[in-house]
Amino acid sequence: MMRTDTPVSVKLENYTPYPFAIEQAELDFSLEPEATRVRTKMMVKRLAPGALVLDGVGLTLNGISIDGQPLGDGDYKVDEETLTIASVPDTFELETDVTINPKANTALSGLYISAGRFCSQCEATGFRRITYWPDRPDVMSRFHVRMDADKAKYPILLSNGTPSKTGDLSDGRHFAEWDDPHPKPSYLFALCAGDYDVWRDTFTTMNGDHVDLGVYVDKGQAKRAEWAMESLKASMKWDEERFGRAYDLGVFNIVAVRDFNFGAMENKGLNIFNSAYVLASPDSATDADFEAIESIVGHEYFHNWTGNRITCRDWFQLCLKEGLTVFRDQEFSSDLRSRPVQRIKDVMTLRARQFAEDAGPLAHPVRPQAYGSIDNLYTATVYVKGAELIRALTVLIGDDAFNKGMQIYFDEFDGTASTIEDFYSCFEKASGKDLSQFRLWYAQAGTPEVTVEEAWDETNATLTLKLSQTTPATPEQDTKKPVPIPLRTALLDGKGGHVAAEGWENGETVIALEEAEKTVTVKVPDGSPRPLLSINREFSAPIRLKRDLDQAALLELAAAETDPFNIWDSFQSLAKAEIFRLLDEPQSPPDEALVTALADAVRQNEQDPAFAALLTVLPDIGELFQERDPADPAGLDAARKRLRKALAEEMASDAERILAKPSPEPFAPTPDQAGTRAMRTAMIGLTGAKGTPEAASSLKALFDGASNMTESLACLRALISIPGKPRDEAISTFYETWKDNPLVIDKWFAVQAGQGTADDARRLSQHPDFDLSNPNRVRSVAAAFAMTNLAAFHAPDGDGHRVIGDIVARIDKLNPALAARLLTSFEQWKKLEPKARASAETVLTDLRAARLSQNAMDIVARALD
């Protein structure tokens, strides 16, 4: 591992095409956990002058030859990261022979062992840990793979594409060959070998092609793959119907692995998944699990067109595949479930994660100009803001032009490694608009702030809107230019409808704020009362909206709203203002008018329980935090809890009524049932917020009788905040019941770390089931504590920071990418009140002195800078 203090930066402006093409490659693996031999043949063709430079890390080179002639020591140079042959012919076959040690690979990048089986992860730079190769996305090759292994231990041998020859060898070994006819970059290579159970199905594409589908899981778990399979078929169908894109191979396989650094990976024809996003059964998975499986299976499948067939020219273009594919998976979920509910959930994630990132020292543009460590570029900004930009584009140019542009993109860029400019050229063609200003969104970090001022002229029946935008300074970007901000707008009549504004269709329009300031005057019918302004409907642009509305005005607006997103958002604004007031006035009781209005809104929407449930969720600390300087997470948490308790008391009889009804039986992970359970769990949560011994005993009774994981976990979560016997019993019963199911035990850890003190987090990290080598388990304690329990993580005594600092230092030795990810929890440290701020600085400074991995150093250096 390379250790440096200042990570070397890679710059977009230095991009140069690779001077060779490798049209065809043959890989031959002889699989042994501690010494796997990899022989690679590549057919190389020169495209431009230059030496042949291949990437390679941690490889033991056994031999190298060109056109069958072994090279001598003087013919090539090997250092820690590359192999260089200064002089090569214009067309030749290069053969390399290396040995790697998958068993020793704790970083989980390259070829490694999880639960005794081989699996691989190559994005972004794992392939260079398998063989010497130009490990960059713009080199696309056809791969033929052969592997042999012990047949008893590894009966199933999988790679990309479709299977060809198989057979037995001597010594109990066997082999299999796989052929992938689609040229692909090395990051999409995959190999899995081991003993699995398989859930099989088939799919016939819109072109009539037959596809064999398989989901490979732990022995005895096949049935738990059923939902993932249903999600896969739904994804295949949706991409055909929505984007006219069909699958292009006869086989599509998914393999679930327990040790995985993130959610899943879209390798061509062989997706590899974190088992958390594959395995589900009614008793052990929550509705949120079922929903996440559906969305992630969709996401990885959709990459087949947006990512695999059209890939990225370089890693700076990562949002080209990720932002677009997140947009596609959000649309998929909206079509399968509820569009408004999906929108609200997506905006919650955006605000909690991306707005926070954009406001701190790790802020970067959706397409950065430079990076220190590629693993650290898989951020909320690239993924989630990247998706928002596509959504904003659809609003700006309209659905028709967007759909047309997507088809141009698929047709023109199929089989290429492309750029954001290529992508936008398609929408310029489709819409006839110049989108160069829109592309500024990709180059500027920071969340734009839009201020709206209204002036009502009663005599002339006109409403004048003064709109202005500014984007705050971010690291290395002091000044920003205005970006085009498409604001869906309507004028509300206060009676559940819209005012007929002149020139607007159905009282709605899209205002494109392209300049720093803009004034829009709207004429409404003479004699109309003052209309109410509904703006940024459906959250049409990823901005912070500033309006000078007091509580009465916001309540009036919430009552008049016709956009479900804005109804929810009005209550979020109301709750936020109230929490800040409670923080500043600790003696004052929560505002009754607000609490009643919120409870009424929940009741009025009970027929759409998934939506009503979201109304009960108060803005979380991570979001409140961003609007305070300095921020006091513990104070915010206390104020938020007071408001929540007041809501719980107001809704006590509603909760009783709703929870007295039985939960839907038999369990099905349908949107309808999930909606009912969402409302029930919201009521369970509010019951917990009362914090009384009576609440604890009724929660314990619900916990004991719960027939599904969603409610059982909700009861456990609610009980954890009420110390006493019911709580302790629930914690131990839950553990005893599920101790053999690691995914459920991850939840058990997370629910405690997410609400406990630093001491609790430390104790959990010393539990015999805590396992530093399993990323899910590490996240269930460390990420749950540092990323969802901000009051305890940023407690003034500094203990929360120290617990995480210690875990990070230990993990970094095994798995630098995971350590770096956990370190991002410190990103807001400069905004903390002085005591917590000082302790965060000490922990970060100590970590810097500890000379961590390059991944971790990149985060520490930027955080401290």
Of the ranges 249-257, 324-332, 437-445, 553-561, which one interacts with Zn ion (CB under 5 A)? 324-332
Query: Binds 259, which of Zn ion, ligand B3K, none (CB < 5 to 8 A, cut-off by type)?
Result: none
- Neighbour-count burial of 767, counting CB atoms closer than 10 A to its CB (0-12 exposed, 13-18 middle, 19+ buried): middle
Q: In what order do the strands lie in the sheet with 485-492?
A: 508-513, 485-492, 532-535
Of the ranges 138-146, 299-307, 351-359, 570-578, which one interacts with ligand B3K (CB under 6 A)? 299-307
Question: Which is it for strands 156-159 and 191-194: parallel, antiparallel or unpaired?
Answer: antiparallel
Of the ranges 86-94, 197-205, 261-269, 757-765, which one interacts with ligand B3K (CB under 6 A)? 261-269
- Among 481, 491, 553, residue whose Cα is nearest residue 513: 481
Asked whether 620 and 789 are in contact (CB, 8 A), the reply is no
Q: In terms of CB distance, is 121 or 534 closer to ligand B3K?
A: 121
Q: Annotated catalytic, 300? A: yes
Query: Binds 83, which of ligand B3K, Zn ion, none (CB < 5 to 8 A, cut-off by type)?
Result: none
CA distance 243 to 252: 19
Q: Kindly state whether residue 722 participates in binding ligand B3K, applying the rule CB under 6 A.
A: no
Site string for ligand B3K, 35-54 (x = CB under 6 A): --------------------
Asked whether 381 and 358 are in contact (CB, 8 A), the reply is yes
Cβ of residue 555: shortest distance to ligand B3K, in angstroms? Answer: 41
| Number of residues counted as binding ligand B3K (CB under 6 A) | 12
Cβ of residue 407: shortest distance to ligand B3K, in angstroms? Answer: 23
Q: Using the rule CB under 6 A, which residue among 127, 290, 378, 667 binds ligand B3K?
A: 378
Q: Kindly state whether residue 561 participates in binding ligand B3K, applying the rule CB under 6 A.
A: no
CA distance 436 to 434: 6
Q: Kindly state whether residue 827 participates in binding ligand B3K, applying the rule CB under 6 A.
A: no
Cβ of residue 295: shortest distance to ligand B3K, in angstroms? Answer: 11
Of the ranges 211-219, 296-304, 342-350, 538-546, which one interacts with ligand B3K (CB under 6 A)? 296-304
Q: Give residue for tokens 């919120």.
A: 598
Cβ of residue 125: shortest distance to ligand B3K, in angstroms? Answer: 9
Angle at the Cα of 780 from the Cα atoms of 810 and 220, rounded to 5 degrees: 110
Provide the CB-side half-sphere exposure for 357 (13 A, CA). Answer: 26
Asked whether 193 and 147 are in contact (CB, 8 A), the reply is yes
Query: Binds 124, which of Zn ion, ligand B3K, none (CB < 5 to 8 A, cut-off by type)?
Result: ligand B3K
Q: Residue 471 corresponds to which tokens in the numbers above?
A: 């984007």
Question: Which is it for strands 173-184 and 210-217: parallel, antiparallel or unpaired?
Answer: unpaired
Cβ of residue 325: shortest distance to Zn ion, in angstroms? Answer: 5
Any residues with CB less than 8 A from the CB of 432 and at least 6 apart, and which? none
Q: Kindly state whether residue 123 participates in binding ligand B3K, applying the rule CB under 6 A.
A: yes
Q: Kindly state whether residue 262 participates in binding ligand B3K, applying the rule CB under 6 A.
A: yes
Q: In terms of CB distance, is 266 or 632 closer to ligand B3K?
A: 266
Position closest to ligand B3K via CB: 123
- Among 513, 468, 520, residue whose Cα is nearest residue 491: 520
Q: Using the rule CB under 6 A, which residue among 10, 100, 111, 124 binds ligand B3K?
A: 124
Q: Residue 687 corresponds to which tokens in the numbers above?
A: 């019951």
Q: Kindly state whether residue 299 participates in binding ligand B3K, applying the rule CB under 6 A.
A: yes
Query: Binds 762, which of Zn ion, ligand B3K, none (CB < 5 to 8 A, cut-off by type)?
Result: none
Q: In terms of CB distance, is 221 or 354 closer to Zn ion?
A: 354
- Neighbour-count burial of 502, counting CB atoms closer than 10 A to its CB (0-12 exposed, 13-18 middle, 19+ buried): exposed
Cis before 124 (ω within 30): yes
C-beta neighbour count of 411 within 10 angstroms: 9
Cβ of residue 126: shortest distance to ligand B3K, in angstroms? Answer: 8
Of the ranges 92-100, 262-270, 327-335, 777-785, which one interacts with ligand B3K (CB under 6 A)? 262-270
Give the DSSP letter string of 517-584. Answer: EEEEEEE--TTPPPPEEEESGGG-SS-EEEE---HHHHHHHHHH---HHHHHHHHHHHHHHHHHHHHH
Any residues with CB less than 8 A from the CB of 118 and at least 6 apart, and which? 31, 33, 36, 102, 111, 112, 149, 154, 191, 192, 193, 194
Q: Residue 263 corresponds to which tokens in the numbers above?
A: 């959610």
| Number of residues counted as binding Zn ion (CB under 5 A) | 2
CA distance 635 to 832: 12
Query: Binds 580, which of ligand B3K, Zn ion, none (CB < 5 to 8 A, cut-off by type)?
Result: none
> What's the distance, CA 796 to chain centroid?
30
Q: Kindly state whether residue 858 participates in binding ligand B3K, applying the rule CB under 6 A.
A: no
C-beta neighbour count of 548 within 10 angstroms: 9
Any residues with CB less than 8 A from the CB of 764 and at least 6 apart, and which? 749, 752, 753, 756, 770, 781
Of the ranges 259-267, 427-435, 674-682, 829-837, which one interacts with ligand B3K (CB under 6 A)? 259-267
Q: Using the rule CB under 6 A, which residue among 239, 248, 259, 322 binds ligand B3K?
A: 322
Q: In terms of CB distance, is 376 or 616 closer to ligand B3K?
A: 376
Report the run of H or E that residue 357 belongs to, with start and end.
Answer: helix 356-358
Cβ of residue 299: shortest distance to ligand B3K, in angstroms? Answer: 5
Binding residues for ligand B3K restricted to 213-242, rule: CB under 6 A:
none
Q: Kindly state whether residue 388 participates in binding ligand B3K, applying the rule CB under 6 A.
A: no
Query: Binds 645, which of ligand B3K, Zn ion, none (CB < 5 to 8 A, cut-off by type)?
Result: none
**DSSP structure class, residue 631:** B
Backbone φ and ψ for 538, nearest 5 degrees, come out as: 55, 20
Q: Kindly state whether residue 129 participates in binding ligand B3K, applying the rule CB under 6 A.
A: no
Cβ of residue 289: shortest distance to ligand B3K, in angstroms? Answer: 18
CA distance 781 to 807: 10
Q: Using the rule CB under 6 A, which residue among 265, 594, 686, 751 binds ligand B3K?
A: 265
- Neighbour-count burial of 588, counting CB atoms closer than 10 A to its CB (0-12 exposed, 13-18 middle, 19+ buried): exposed
Site string for ligand B3K, 475-504 (x = CB under 6 A): ------------------------------
Q: Kindly state whether residue 266 participates in binding ligand B3K, applying the rule CB under 6 A.
A: yes
Catalytic residue among 300, 322, 578, 711: 300
Q: In terms of CB distance, is 189 or 667 closer to Zn ion?
A: 189
Of the ranges 3-11, 263-271, 418-426, 677-685, which one interacts with ligand B3K (CB under 6 A)? 263-271
Q: In terms of CB distance, is 378 or 793 closer to ligand B3K?
A: 378
Query: Binds 123, which of ligand B3K, Zn ion, none (CB < 5 to 8 A, cut-off by type)?
Result: ligand B3K
Binding residues for Zn ion restricted to 264-323, rule: CB under 5 A:
322
CA distance 720 to 540: 38
Q: In terms of CB distance, is 299 or 328 closer to ligand B3K?
A: 299
Residues that bind Zn ion (CB under 5 A): 322, 325
Catalytic residues: 300
Residues that bind ligand B3K (CB under 6 A): 123-124, 262, 264-266, 299-300, 303, 322, 375, 378
